[in-house]
């Protein structure tokens, strides 16, 4: 079986080869941690965004969506705490001159320990076969328990040192764990320092009138500053939510792992405004709702887990990540944060404007508390794409590469393939495309043998291939091939719309939440 690194390399090369993701400005040798989405990637990304928007905005009558500007008044970032506290602890290796995030070095070390637990499980599962009880094994095996204790105590210490801003202890931890630079192999480290992640820019034409701005590092603040505008114009009653998708920018120190950590990326965030004191209840509710959204896509329940934060951001009284099993291990995919009244309270102070809600039931005004759900669209793309990419051994000793993207998210829903380029078959195929294209993207492909065309569609995740052949001329039927099972059915042309809709219709998917 291919190792994780090979699988990840395959994901990256497949994304490029099939028009999903290209490195930004590649002809100039690219820009580190910035990527462009190609013709298939843009469609998949759009479909993920829509799936989120429909679940959050369309299906909740108390959540509305906005689209705030990327540029914001610079005081926004003073009020939000980003100017003072949006830092990453960084450390340099003196030999390779490479810069790392100190917390990521430690977390990678812990991931290796967790990898050892997975290996123990795999070994035991092989040894005990059908009688293997994984839960029991994880609870009782001394080696596993030892690894677990070690991993937990490292993370606890890291969390505590970061919370106390004890950067000397973070360095001490790196040294005690014997962490070496992945490039030079040396353990010759500098001290750990804080580094602000916001990109600065200027607004205005002349040097003396220009204003220093930041590119927004999160979309959330565009929602906070519009809280009253939306509440008043939409006559919203608490609890209510404001959702938004859009670009965010962070000058990440460790920009690696493809689109997992980018310098320009897209977020899908929702702030839920609630009565103070109800935050625990809404925190639990939104953790469950968001996990339900993920599970509805059918990527596999075992791919997700919650990670409750030990170290809380400056604005939160509780926070958890939904982690996903990426090819490089479990990592954060989405955050659910109980943000208290920190943001609205702080914007009140800095702007001098009241940001309060008059609660008719309580007959008083207050600054609402906020429960936030925040997911990276690019990270979600990577979760879908990497788990969908599969190599299958076929009966005839060949392999096929197939992207088993959930049909609702697939860039193209169907491809229409005339068996030959003559005898009127292309005309019928074009007619089918013309009929179906009103509802979703449909491709037409007449080049090469039909088997190769199937493979090409498998590789971009098209759920259905429709083949037009000579029998079509006689009785109006076509074959429809299902991507995942490769099963083929002979059906009437008229039935195509219903068969495809059944699998790609968003309602079928969202109803699973």
Using CB under 6 A, list all residues that contact ligand GAP: 218, 220, 250, 252, 261-262, 265, 267, 269, 332-335, 372, 374-376, 378-379
Give whichever of 231 and 267 is closer to ligand GAP, judged by the CB atom.
Answer: 267
> What residues does 392 pair with on adjacent strands?
400
Q: What is d(CA 368, CA 279) in angstroms, rounded to the nearest whole number?
A: 10
**CB nearer ligand GAP, residue 101 or residue 379:** 379
Cβ distance to ligand GAP smaller for residue 189 or 286: 286
Q: Tell the smallest beta-carbon distance from residue 29 to ligand GAP (Å).
A: 21
Report in angstroms how near the CB of residue 4 gets to ligand GAP at its nearest. Answer: 20
Report how far apart, in Å, the C-alpha atoms of 393 and of each of 5, 98, 122, 396, 399 are: 21, 41, 22, 8, 4
Euclidean distance between CA atoms 451 and 262, whole angstroms: 38
Min dist CB 160 to ligand GAP, Å, is: 20
Q: How far is the CB of 36 from ligand GAP (least distance, A)?
A: 15
- Give the strand order in the sheet containing 99-101: 99-101, 87-92, 193-196
Of 46 and 400, CB closest to ligand GAP: 46
Rounded least distance, CB 214 to ligand GAP, Å: 14
Q: Least CB distance from residue 462 to ligand GAP, whole Å?
A: 27
Q: Which C-beta is closer to ligand GAP: that of 253 or that of 405? A: 253
Residue 331 C-beta: closest distance to ligand GAP, Å: 9
Q: Report the C-alpha gap between 371 and 274 in whole angstroms.
A: 7
CB-based burial, 235-273: b 16+ in 10 Å, e otherwise? ebebbbbbbbbbebbbbbbbbebbbbbbbbbbbbbbbbb
Compute the least distance from the CB of residue 372 to ligand GAP, in Å. Answer: 6
Strand partners, 330: 325
Q: How far is the CB of 144 from ligand GAP (least distance, A)?
A: 28
The residue (of 378 and 458) whose beta carbon lies closer to ligand GAP is: 378
Choose between 269 and 458: whose C-beta lies nearer to ligand GAP: 269
- Partners of residue 37 on adjacent β-strands: 21
**Alpha-carbon distances of 231 from 10, 60, 241, 262, 458, rounded to whole Å:** 47, 16, 10, 33, 46
Tokens 């004890």 correspond to: 166
Distance from C-alpha of 127 to C-alpha of 120, rounded to nearest angstrom: 11
Residue number with CB closer to ligand GAP (269 or 503): 269
- List Cβ neighbours of 245 (8 Å cut-off, separation of 6 or more): 49, 52, 53, 65, 219, 266, 267, 268, 269, 377
Instruction: Copy the structure tokens of residue 200.
Output: 């600065």
Closest approach, Cβ 255 to ligand GAP, in A, equals 7
Which tokens sit at 382? 């990577």
**CA–CA dist 221, 350 (Å, integer):** 13
Nearer to ligand GAP, 63 or 375 (CB): 375
Output 251-256 pairs: Cβ under 8 A, ≥24 positions apart. Answer: 251/196, 251/197, 251/198, 251/199, 252/33, 252/88, 252/197, 253/88, 253/90, 253/99, 253/100, 253/101, 253/195, 253/197, 254/99, 254/100, 254/101, 254/104, 255/32, 255/33, 256/33
Least separation in angstroms between CB 146 and ligand GAP: 31
Q: Which is nearer to ligand GAP, 262 or 409 (CB)?
A: 262
Considering beta carbons, is residue 88 or 458 the nearer one to ligand GAP? 88
Helix then strand count (H, E) for the chain reads 18, 23
Q: CB nearest ligand GAP: which residue?
A: 376
């Amino acid at each position: 079986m291919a190792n994780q690194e090979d699988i990840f390399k395959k994901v990256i090369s497949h994304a490029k080869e099939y028009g999903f993701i290209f490195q930004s400005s590649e002809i100039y040798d690219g820009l580190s941690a910035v990527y462009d989405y190609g013709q298939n990637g843009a469609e998949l990304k759009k479909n993920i965004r829509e799936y989120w928007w429909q679940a959050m905005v369309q299906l909740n009558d108390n959540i509305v969506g906005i689209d705030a500007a990327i540029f914001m008044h610079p005081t926004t970032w003073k009020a939000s705490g980003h100017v003072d506290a949006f830092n990453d602890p960084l450390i340099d290796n003196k030999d390779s001159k490479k810069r790392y995030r100190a917390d990521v070095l430690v977390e990678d070390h812990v991931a290796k320990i967790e990898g050892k637990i997975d290996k123990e499980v795999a070994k035991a599962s092989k040894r005990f076969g059908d009688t293997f009880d994984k839960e029991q094994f994880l609870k009782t095996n001394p080696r596993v328990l030892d690894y677990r204790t070690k991993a937990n105590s490292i993370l606890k210490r890291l969390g505590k040192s970061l919370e106390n801003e004890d950067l000397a202890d973070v360095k001490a931890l790196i040294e005690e764990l014997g962490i070496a630079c992945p490039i030079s192999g040396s353990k010759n480290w500098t001290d750990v320092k804080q580094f602000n992640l916001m990109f600065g820019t200027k607004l205005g034409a002349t040097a003396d009138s220009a204003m220093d701005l930041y590119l927004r590092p999160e979309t959330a603040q565009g929602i906070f500053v519009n809280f009253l505008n939306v509440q008043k114009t939409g006559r919203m009653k608490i609890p209510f939510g404001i959702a938004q998708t859009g670009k965010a920018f962070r000058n990440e120190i460790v920009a690696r792992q493809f689109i997992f950590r980018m310098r320009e990326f897209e977020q899908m965030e929702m702030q839920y405004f609630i009565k103070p004191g109800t935050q625990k209840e809404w925190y639990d509710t939104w953790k469950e709702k968001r996990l339900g959204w993920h599970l509805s896509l059918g990527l596999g329940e075992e791919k997700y887990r919650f990670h409750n934060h030990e170290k809380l951001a400056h604005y939160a009284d509780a926070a958890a990540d939904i982690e996903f099993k990426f090819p490089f291990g479990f990592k954060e995919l989405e955050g659910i944060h109980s943000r208290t009244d920190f943001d609205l309270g702080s914007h009140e102070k800095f702007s001098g404007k009241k940001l309060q809600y008059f609660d008719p039931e309580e007959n008083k005004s207050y600054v609402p508390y906020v429960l936030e759900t925040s997911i990276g669209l690019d990270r979600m793309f990577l979760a879908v794409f990497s788990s969908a990419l599969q190599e299958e051994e076929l009966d005839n000793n060949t392999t096929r590469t197939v992207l088993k993207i959930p049909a609702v998210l697939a860039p193209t829903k169907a491809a229409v393939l005339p068996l030959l380029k003559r005898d009127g078959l292309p005309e019928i195929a074009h007619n089918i495309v013309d009929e179906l294209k009103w509802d979703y993207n449909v491709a037409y492909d007449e080049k090469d043998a039909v088997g190769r065309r199937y493979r090409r569609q498998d590789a971009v995740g098209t759920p259905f291939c429709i083949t037009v052949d000579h029998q079509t001329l006689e009785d109006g039927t076509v074959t429809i091939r299902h991507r995942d099972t490769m099963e083929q059915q002979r059906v009437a042309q008229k039935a195509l719309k219903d068969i495809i809709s059944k699998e790609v219709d968003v309602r079928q998917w969202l109803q699973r939440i």
